[in-house]
Amino acid sequence: MYWRHAAVVGLSCSALCGCTGIAQLTPVASYTASNAFSPAGYGQTKLGDDHYQVKATGTEATPKERVEKIARARAAQIGVEEKFNYFKVGSVQHGVACSERQKAYKSAETAASSRPTVVLDVVYAKETADPTFASTKEAYEALSAELASEVVTPDVKAVSVQETRASCGQG
């Protein structure tokens, strides 16, 4: 019963408050692995012994800069876990994952969604042969601390919601 009341209050507030109200209610992505039930977070694909592709996905209220920071933190963490001392991000590809509203038989429909994404191409090394490589341990510690202490204000969330929805034609 409580969840129904909370849902009604949340929907009423969203309807009354407009986009800013939605942005205030929508959380930003945190530093966690994504999964089938919660697509916001990070994931990775091993391409070689010292080569990974790291992807991060945010909620529609997550600024793309934070999504990239999540991916970079995961890239650094992989280096620490795999005992690589250094890493270098070769390319960064920002995008938006869009889904259309889905009507379901005998259940509630799923709303359209838009989520900022980023994909990093990452190379690791035990020894640095190039000044463009960064320390995995130092980068992971710094990025983790930034993500943990970062506060995304409601106005920044609202801009992120507008940008991701516009990218999906959901205006």
List the Cα angle 38/42/47 in 5-degree steps. 130
Residues 6+ apart with CB under 8 A from 88: 122, 123, 125, 130, 132, 133, 134
Nearest-angstrom CA–CA distance, 136 and 166: 36
Asked if pLDDT for residue 29 goes beyond 50, the answer is yes
Q: Note down the domain range covering 121.
A: 2-167
Nearest-angstrom CA–CA distance, 40 and 3: 22
Of the candidates 58, 48, 61, 54, the one whose C-alpha atom is nearest the C-alpha of residue 93 is 54
Q: How confident is the model at residue 140 (pLDDT cuts 50, 70, 90)?
A: very high
pLDDT tens digit sequence for 74-127:
999 999 999 999 999 999 999 999 987 666 666 666 567 899 999 999 999 999
Per-residue pLDDT at 113: 82
Q: What do you get for the CA distance between the two ends of the chain, in Å? A: 33
**Is the whole-model pTM more than 0.85?**
no
Count up the domains in the chain and report the number: 1
pLDDT tens digit sequence for 42-86:
999 999 999 999 999 999 999 999 999 999 999 999 999 999 999
